Structure 1
């Protein structure tokens, strides 16, 4: 992802592809394609591995780029520009797409738009490689919430949304037959009584479906919620990330560890994870590197 506003003299960012060496993990750049919007900030691969979905922050658009047989990207075959705004003038004067992912059925794609206070729902057509907005399907968030990232529950028909501008996490019910979202619950990501500046960033559900994690930039913590069968959340723990600005985090494939990228303090912190309660314990393991903003684990090669 190239979070830029101009690429090849066009008003767009770009998405690059890299080949991964199986034995060493070394990366070899293969090429790039325009993201068809400024400042692309998020990408995901659909569940069939056939397309890449991109959220362009500037101007608020989402794009679909087909993956070719050699792993490189073809030019975008579908681009949709969002509409709408919110009450916070300096952040919500126009749409700002911030995340887009395919649903578990791979029939729909959901896109969180921070500027429009909305989670847009699209029908995902893999035959025509296109996105089609579902009228009446969107999740309308609280005014000024600023939806940033979204994640699906692994077994329940639920979507969780990290709201950057009001420090909350929203629970929405998703009808995967009709492609519609319905708000259910909203919870604070902060301890009771804390009133400082804070911007939630990343959000993940444990594979068990029993625990939800949200990172807090400002409070510099990970909020740990237990998830009831109804989708109701209970805040069980808020643990310091021992650093500044936890923009991203990731659970390792075993589920035993959680790694946090502290962007402003130039560190990755490792937590142990109790696989029953979901609670986190600092390990004092730290990796220093400049401005980490995204962590991904590579699946074991076959």
Structure 2
């Protein structure tokens, strides 16, 4: 009787399991495996690896409602992935490997990765020459067909076609800049520091620190080529050191951060001709604070709403907030917030505009700030990540 009872109970249990059907995939996931949930973003952090504190690109998860960040994980090993760009499809990521030689040539490299949206880990696809030494910045154009890269050491910009599977082809065009400016060492030759495209995806703009100019190109995404435009460039004040550039999301304005003078130059942008016309230039430091030799500007970004602009100041170790006049593009100082660390080289604003994450290169932290939607001011959330030499922050929804 006892054995028949056990058999009967086992049969009932088996029937119950069968009726319940297969468990959700998350229940089958091995320990440590994670899945994306609504309201959660992947955060990728690019680093310098030459001091042995870092091994490459790191990933964390950000919960928008709470601002909570998970402990960072190594997403992929990579050498000096100092700037990152996410493909519009959200499935591929590209990194500028800021090195002076690659495969025996005096050039840096660009690496392609596939994004695992569940785990956040990156699978290496391939690597190509960046077309010049020391690549410091890169983007994916708005069609997702081309990676554009600025080579600081080589003073050049290059366009690399993206294949349908996310792999990179060799550069289809490389354009070398010429000239110099007034600083005897930092501006003895060209140093292309960034490249961006406008909303139309017809024009590309390269900020060159070494020659105090914005170089303008016509972009052909289908051919993956950059062609010098007319007008070919726009000059800024000698000794400014153009570094990074940001467009307003909906208005015809653009903003250039000048590293050496710690200034922002605001431009009107003509979408038809591609021309830039200067509106004003003002300091990124708070009123009453004078620039010192150890200070330098680093990053500039416009809030997704288009109402605010943010600029980081290394040495002063702050992020300055400006309000943008929507009718004129002019800037008004709002405030300056310490980054709670040293040397804020790069920062990122999440796509919803709620949070800003600042990478403090020399104190090895990424610190989170909540953005006041009415004023643009920053308030620390209390969340931070410990990562060796963080220099770039990018989000994936």
Instruction: Give the structure-1-normalised TM-score.
Output: 0.97
Paired residue secondary structure (2:171) = coil
Residue aligning to 1:55: 150
Counterpart check, 1:280 vs 2:375? no
1:256 is matched with which residue: 354, 358, 366? 354
Unaligned runs of 5+ in 1: none
Number of residues paired by the alignment? 299
Counterparts of residues 33-52 of structure 1 (less than 5 Å): 33-52=128-147
Residue aligning to 2:393: 295
Q: Deviations over 1:196-251 (max 9, x none)?
A: 33111011001111100000001000000000120110111011001000000111
* Structure 2: distance between partners of 1:172 and 1:100: 16
Unaligned runs of 5+ in 2: 1-95
Counterparts of residues 1-302 of structure 1 (less than 5 Å): 1-195=96-290, 196=292, 197-228=294-325, 229-299=327-397
RMSD: 1.0
* Structure 1: distance between partners of 2:321 and 2:175: 34
State the 1:135 CA deviation. 2.6
Paired residue secondary structure (2:107) = coil
Paired residue secondary structure (2:186) = helix
Greater relative contact order (Cα < 8 A, sep 6+)? 2
Aligned partners of 2:305 and 2:353 also within 8 Å: no
Q: Which has the higher helix share?
A: 2
State the 1:137 CA deviation. 4.3
Aligned partners of 1:170 and 1:186 also within 8 Å: yes
Aligned partners of 1:67 and 1:73 also within 8 Å: yes
Paired residue secondary structure (1:248) = strand
* Structure 1: distance between partners of 2:297 and 2:383: 24
Paired residue secondary structure (1:293) = strand
Paired residue secondary structure (2:391) = coil
Aligned partners of 1:268 and 1:286 also within 8 Å: yes
State the 1:62 CA deviation. 0.1
State the 1:83 CA deviation. 1.2
Aligned partners of 1:137 and 1:179 also within 8 Å: no
* Structure 2: distance between partners of 1:287 and 1:198: 24
Aligned partners of 1:139 and 1:172 also within 8 Å: no
| Larger Rg computed on CA atoms | 2
Q: Deviations over 1:142-175 (max 9, x none)?
A: 1110010000011111110110000100001111
Instruction: Give the structure-2-normalised TM-score.
Output: 0.74
* Structure 1: distance between partners of 2:220 and 2:384: 43
* Structure 2: distance between partners of 1:54 and 1:19: 19
Q: Deviations over 1:254-291 (max 9, x none)?
A: 21111000000000001011112111111222211100
Aligned partners of 1:137 and 1:180 also within 8 Å: no
